[in-house]
Amino acid sequence: MSLLSLEQISVAFGHNPLLSKISFSAEAGERVAIIGRNGAGKSTLLKVILGEQVADEGVVRLEGGMTIGQLPQELPDANEKTVREVVSEGAGEAHSLMTRYFKLLEDFENDHTNELSDIQTELDRIQGWDLEQRVNHMIQRLALPADKLMSELSGGWRRRVILAQALISNPDVLLLDEPTNHLDVPTIEWMEQQLQQFRGLILFITHDRRFLEKLANRIIELDRGNLISFSGNITAFLAFKEKMLEEEERANALFDKRLAEEEVWIRQGIKARRTRNEGRVRALKALREERSERINRQGNAKMAIETKDKSGKLVAEFTQVGHSFEDKVILQPMDFVVNRGDRIGLIGPNGCGKSTFLKILLGDLEPETGLVRQGTKLNVAYFDQLREQLDPEQTVAENVGEGKDVIEINGQNKHVIGYLGDFLFPPERARTPVKALSGGERNRVLLAKLFTRPANLLIMDEPTNDLDVETLELLEELLMSYDGTLLLVSHDRAFLDNVVTSVIAFEGEGRVKEYVGGYQDWIRQGGKFPTESTSQTDDTPSKKEKAKTNAKKVEEDKKTSIQAKPKAKLSYKMQREFDNMPATIAKLEEEIAALHVTTSAPEFYTDDADKVQKTLAKLAHKEEELETTMERWLELEEMQNG
């Protein structure tokens, strides 16, 4: 049964038809990827489904009673609301009614009996009394810090919170617009797992090809106002699309040949008028109209990097370089060499120290320990993921040309408007202020500006955000043929695999190690991200994480028969308690994990209400017991080491 259907939807801005009489329907269990070039109308389609954009014509139909949840492209505000409050807001009417209900209860001076009665009736109707229980369940399921303020969270954690807000209403349809933006790889992989468990209909837009490959079981492509639907994964779709484009080219060639023949016939003049074949004349007019309406496929960008004179063979060398901020170790002392022609990817969770590493390498930051030696003849070009090099008030041409109409590219003068055409900016778009562009277009502007500067050391920080697949693949080809040195920070796993020849992995607690190959090669060699990146909301380990680490260490010490000598400050009884704690903690964690599996099951809340409450109470008790045990562990450990 179709949950969602679109019938003959059309949307146009001026003379540009984004959507032209498109129709499709989708069912529960489908995870539909919406793909297409930047500006093809992907986000517009989601807005039409949400009702935020009114279609020029056509109808959007939802099965009766179906609800829609949304994960917007923009990050939620870093405000002073708690995580619990933000998640609860996703319940919509139930949240509003509960908020009003408790506010009235606190107003003892006035009689609100009638309004309270009305609210109770509405809450009964929408089954809103279990809101707090549902919020607690969602917070536990997504491992969120319920009492943290949004202003205290990183971008990746705020993205988790907004996903919980979208899921709290148990929507039938979930819409996601670039859900992996601002996320590190561990969080992207976590999100993949969460969405694969969603039983409703998912429609999502993404530039992350690995995410697309793992999640989508149906592909919808928007191409020149039309919609192409394909049941299957992205690999099968691309093979299908290649054949379809070949057929389209053949059909267009035959059409153009026929049109040319008819144009020759009509220009014979006297002969055409003498035969008075009015039907043929009308057919020619129809052919002309059809040809004028054909929207040719947008070409690919034409990028080229101008390489400055070669640098010295040595680009940079670290000798026992280490760095920390206050009590947080960013880099443990390490040796490292970058040679000319290296293509190195930097991988690790957000906040692990990748930017600090680059600043030290470039000489912008003095390391606490060790020496950094830079090579000779270095010319650096830097791609900034925050696009701070762009002035949003200036036009595209002004940003790239920096006030000049003519720029020098590979030793030749070129008009800035013509140069921008290579990056798919027609003249009218090149004169548009940057603030009016989409995210993908802004990335192309920054690439265009970057490539005007001769460089033999190219540093790129998240260059793939918002780029369409065709532009991504072109950028890959460009970087693979680049004969300078490349340092690439990216969370795009496919991009890393296709471009870099080695990776520098930030594996937690300041440990940095180099591996040959790309992201998948790192995984095959046993690489993994620190668990703190997916369980903490800041860069400082919590008491719980510290206790778990210490407990694990003691357990490992036991296995290898390396027993630490008891300190005099611990009594015999305390030492026995300390030695037994790793096993106690492990048992509690197993019990809690089993309870989480039980409470995460969709049918759990359909069971007897008393049984549900007892299970949730047991889970809360076990978590409190674990927290108490860990705090006691830290206390004894400090006494032992004191």
pLDDT in tens, 115-149: 888 888 888 887 778 888 888 888 887 788 888 99
Mean pLDDT of 347-352: 82
| pLDDT at residue 557 tops 60 | no
Classified by CATH at the fold level, domain 314-525 comes out as: Rossmann fold (3.40.50)
The pLDDT confidence band at residue 296, using thresholds 50, 70 and 90, is low
More confident residue, 612 or 642: 612
What confidence category does residue 93 fall into, taking pLDDT thresholds of 50, 70 and 90?
A: confident
- DSSP summary character for residue 306: P
Most confidently modeled of 15-29, 102-116, 357-371, 570-584?
357-371
Q: How confident is the model at residue 177 (pLDDT cuts 50, 70, 90)?
A: confident
At residue 533, the pLDDT reads 39
- Encode pLDDT of 12-31 as tens digits: 876 667 888 999 999 988 99
Looking at domain 572-641, which of 1.20.58.220, 1.10.287.380, 1.10.540.10, 3.40.50.300 is its CATH number? 1.10.287.380
pLDDT band at 387 (very low <50, low <70, confident <90, very high): low
Higher pLDDT, 539 or 528: 528
Domain segments of the chain: what residues?
84-166, 238-271+279-292, 314-525, 572-641
Q: Is the pLDDT of residue 1 over 80?
A: no
Residue 539 pLDDT greater than 60, yes or no:
no
Average pLDDT over residues 155-161: 81
620 or 71, higher pLDDT? 71
What whole-number distance in Å separates Cα of residue 222 and Cα of residue 236? Answer: 17
What integer is the mean pLDDT of 325-343? 88
pLDDT of residue 370: 93
| Interatomic CA distance for residues 69 and 195, integer angstroms | 13
Percent share of the chain, pLDDT over 70 = 82
Q: Which residues belong to the annotated binding site for ATP? A: 36-43, 348-355
pLDDT at 275 over 60: no
- Tens of pLDDT, residues 502-520: 999 998 888 899 999 999 8
β-partners of residue 319 are 371
Task: Give 543 or 210, the one with higher predicted confidence.
Answer: 210
Please say if the pLDDT value at position 562 is more than 60: no
Please give the pLDDT value at position 295.
Answer: 56
Residue 191, pLDDT above cutoff 80: yes
* Type of residue at 627: E
What's the pLDDT at 559? 45
Q: Which of 80-89, 376-385, 548-557 has the lowest mean pLDDT?
A: 548-557
The residue ranking higher by pLDDT, 271 or 474, is 474
What pLDDT band is residue 603 in, cutting at 50, 70 and 90?
low
| Confidence at 563, pLDDT banded by 50, 70, 90 | very low
pLDDT score for 567: 42
Q: Are 22 and 6 in contact (CB under 8 A)?
A: yes
DSSP for 552-579, please give it.
Answer: HHHHHHHHTT-PPPPPTTS-HHHHHHHH
558 versus 277: the higher-pLDDT residue is 277
Of 450, 467, 455, whose CA–CA distance to 402 is shortest? 450
* Residues whose CB is less than 8 angstroms from the CB of residue 6 and which lie 6 or more positions away in sequence, other chains included: 22, 23, 24, 25, 48, 49, 58, 59, 60, 61
Rounded mean pLDDT, 100-105: 84
Q: Where are the beta strands (DSSP E) in 423-482?
A: 457-461
- The pLDDT value recorded for residue 486 is 92
Distance (Å, whole) CA 364 – CA 361: 8
Other Cβ atoms less than 10 A from the Cβ of 102: the count is 10
**Considering only CA atoms, which of 315, 316, 318, 314 is closest in space to residue 371?**
318
| Helix, strand, or coil (residue 162) | helix
Residue 538: the pLDDT is 41
- Can you give the pTM of this predicted structure? 0.61
Instruction: Tell me: pLDDT of 413 over 50.
Output: yes
pLDDT for res 269:
58
pLDDT confidence of 605, banded at 50, 70, 90? low
| Residue 521 structure tokens | 């090669």
Binding residues: 36-43, 348-355
